[in-house]
């Protein structure tokens, strides 16, 4: 069991050493520390980045040294990864940054579309039904751009809109099939993400119909707990173990994505 998507205090998670200890306690063979990173392309993105403190572009060397020390400590492999906010306007800057830093692997996420943050329900309070549907269309357009950019080994929580009350249930089979087709022709693979699976809303990424579209096309998936706290990691890892076993599929590795 290898969990490729865990956060630490270098973005919005708990202390790095506590997250690694939780991975050991969960019996994992490896854990990927994939902290958030934003390279803003607008003043609003810059404000949001500064407000939440996602500054891995400035702190990755210090975190890398800490990961190296933890990796040498025991049998658990600890990967130096990143979860990068994707915006098509920033493709060149993202490519340059990833080439310079040379993480073990990079995860891409669409957290905002044209400066509208996907997971802040207040962003959508004044939108009518047509505008909400159009935003979901735009989200999947951006996700296809992410996949086709070939910048990332993994695409995180590929139907992230399902976490947001105003957007949940607006994704369609046509959305899923279009994105699945893009994955078919890309080195990027989606992840089974347990970030909301054990909460009241019970959202698993990707949704069943989305996962079916992916598997029908032979698209592999990785596993990511998306844990931010030590007590989240073990239960989410158990969920993903069972989920992968039910699917009868061997999870992919970001190191084999080309």
Burial class (CB in 10 A: 0-12, 13-18, 19+), 257: middle
**pLDDT mean over 171-185:** 97
Alpha carbon distance 56, 38 (integer Å): 8
Q: What is the pLDDT of residue 117?
A: 94
Residue 130 has pLDDT above 70, yes or no: yes
Task: Write the CB contacts of 16 (distance below 8 Å, at least 6 apart in sequence).
Answer: 8, 9, 10, 33, 63, 66, 67, 70
Residue 156 has pLDDT above 80, yes or no: yes
Helices 16-25 and 56-71 pack at an angle, to 10 degrees, of: 40
Nearest to 27 by CA among 245, 244, 191, 237: 237
- In the DSSP assignment, the letter for residue 256 is G
- Residue 196 has phi, psi (to 5 degrees) of -125, 10
**Per-residue pLDDT tens for 65-103?**
999 999 998 899 999 999 999 999 999 999 999 999 999
**Per-residue pLDDT tens for 179-193?**
999 999 999 999 999
What global pTM score does this model have? 0.96
For residue 190, the SS3 value is strand
Confidence of residue 249 (pLDDT cuts 50, 70, 90): confident
Tell me if 31 sits within 8 A of 2, measured CB to CB. Answer: yes
- The average confidence (pLDDT) of the chain is 95
**pLDDT mean over 148-171:** 97
Domains delineated in the chain: 2-256 (3.20.20.140)
Residue 258 has pLDDT above 60, yes or no: no
């Amino acid at each position: 069991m290898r969990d490729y998507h865990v956060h630490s205090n270098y973005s919005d998670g708990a202390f790095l050493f506590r997250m690694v200890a939780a991975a050991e306690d969960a019996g994992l063979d490896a854990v990927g520390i994939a902290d958030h990173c934003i390279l803003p392309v607008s003043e609003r993105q810059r404000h949001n980045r500064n407000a939440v403190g996602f500054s891995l572009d400035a702190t990755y060397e210090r975190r890398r040294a800490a990961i190296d020390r933890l990796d040498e400590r025991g049998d658990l492999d600890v990967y130096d990864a990143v979860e990068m906010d994707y915006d098509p306007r920033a493709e060149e800057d993202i490519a340059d940054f990833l080439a310079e830093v040379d993480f073990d692997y990079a995860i891409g996420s669409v957290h905002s579309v044209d400066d509208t943050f996907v997971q802040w329900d207040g962003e959508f309070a004044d939108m009518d039904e047509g505008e909400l549907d159009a935003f979901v269309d735009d989200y999947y357009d951006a996700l296809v751009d992410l996949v086709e950019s070939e910048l990332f080994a993994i695409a995180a929580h590929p139907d992230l809109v399902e976490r947001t009350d105003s957007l949940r249930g607006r994704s369609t089979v046509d959305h899923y099939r279009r994105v699945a087709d893009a994955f078919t022709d890309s080195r990027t693979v989606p992840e089974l993400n347990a970030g909301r699976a054990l909460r009241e809303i019970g959202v698993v990424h990707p949704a069943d119909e989305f996962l079916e579209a992916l598997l029908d096309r032979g698209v592999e998936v990785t596993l990511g707990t998306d844990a931010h706290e030590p007590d989240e990691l073990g239960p989410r890892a158990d969920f993903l173990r069972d989920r992968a076993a039910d699917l009868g599929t061997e999870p992919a590795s970001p190191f084999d994505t080309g």
